[in-house]
Structure 1
Amino acid sequence: MFFFLYTLFLFFNKIIMSLRIRLQRKGKKKQPFYSIVIANSNYPRDGKFIEQIGIYNPIPKPYIVEVNVDKAIYWLEQGAKPTNTVKSFLNRKGVGYKKHLLNGVKKLIFENC
């Protein structure tokens, strides 16, 4: 019985904890265009994904990054881990700061303000 429960725990833990927020390459040769997606870390880079939360276009200067902040915060709270590049994009868009403030609101830090 214990072995079954432990195996079940490992199975679900691996599925939930293996989510990544990463770039998915699109576009033509020498003209890259990236989608910011939620995908299982075991899937190929350009393979199946769960949800698209933004885009990154490195061609124009300055480059274009668009991220749905609410979806990004939702997936970060679900345990998805961003890659280093996506983490820098999210920090520039203020996702880390907004997530921090929302956690404060959930803990009723701002109740007396």
Structure 2
Amino acid sequence: MVKIRLRRVGRKNAPFYRILVADSQSPRDGKFIEVIGQYAPRKSEGSLQVDEARANYWLNLGAQPTDTVRSLLRRAGVLRRRHEQRLGIERKAEAVPVGEKPEEAAAGA
């Protein structure tokens, strides 16, 4: 089975993780298939980077994310967009005719 999981890299007391796709039987820091992102828990801004296209590709093939990676993908918005895409939900802005203000459109409806 293929898993999407974390691999710890970085110094002592300065953790840094790579989000990668690996066989479930390979060791945590062993052989992997592909790196799809990174996570730096000690940074506040920009600490999570995920290649959404590759994550969706592997999820479509049946790769199972670990609990921690699932929460990171949820935080990055990958799982929400995937869910909306699978259900056919499309986010649309409210259509307001040109020349009308949103207040006028609401009053006319």
1:69 is matched with 52
1:27-66 to 2 correspondences below 5 Å? 27-62=10-45, 64-66=47-49
Report the CA distance between 1:92 and its aligned residue. Answer: 1.3
1:79 is matched with 62
Instruction: Name the structure where helix makes up a greater proportion of residues.
Output: 1
User: Structure 2 vs 1, CA of residues 60 and 97 (structure 1 numbering), >3 Å: closer, same or farther?
Assistant: closer
Report the CA distance between 1:61 and its aligned residue. Answer: 3.1
1:22 is matched with 5
2:76 is matched with 93
**Count of aligned residue pairs for this structure pair:** 90
1:48-102 superposed Cα distances (whole Å, 9 cap, x missing partner)? 1100000000122357011011111110010000011110111111212221233
1:25-57 superposed Cα distances (whole Å, 9 cap, x missing partner)? 101111111000000010000111100000000
- What runs of 5+ residues in structure 2 fail to find an aligned partner? 91-109
Once residues 68 and 76 of structure 1 are traced to their aligned partners in structure 2, the CA distance between those partners, rounded to angstroms, is 12
RMSD after superposition: 1.8
- What runs of 5+ residues in structure 1 fail to find an aligned partner? 1-17
- The structure with the larger Rg is 2
1:4-37 superposed Cα distances (whole Å, 9 cap, x missing partner)? xxxxxxxxxxxxxx11000001011111110000
Once residues 42 and 3 of structure 2 are traced to their aligned partners in structure 1, the CA distance between those partners, rounded to angstroms, is 24
Once residues 34 and 46 of structure 1 are traced to their aligned partners in structure 2, the CA distance between those partners, rounded to angstroms, is 11
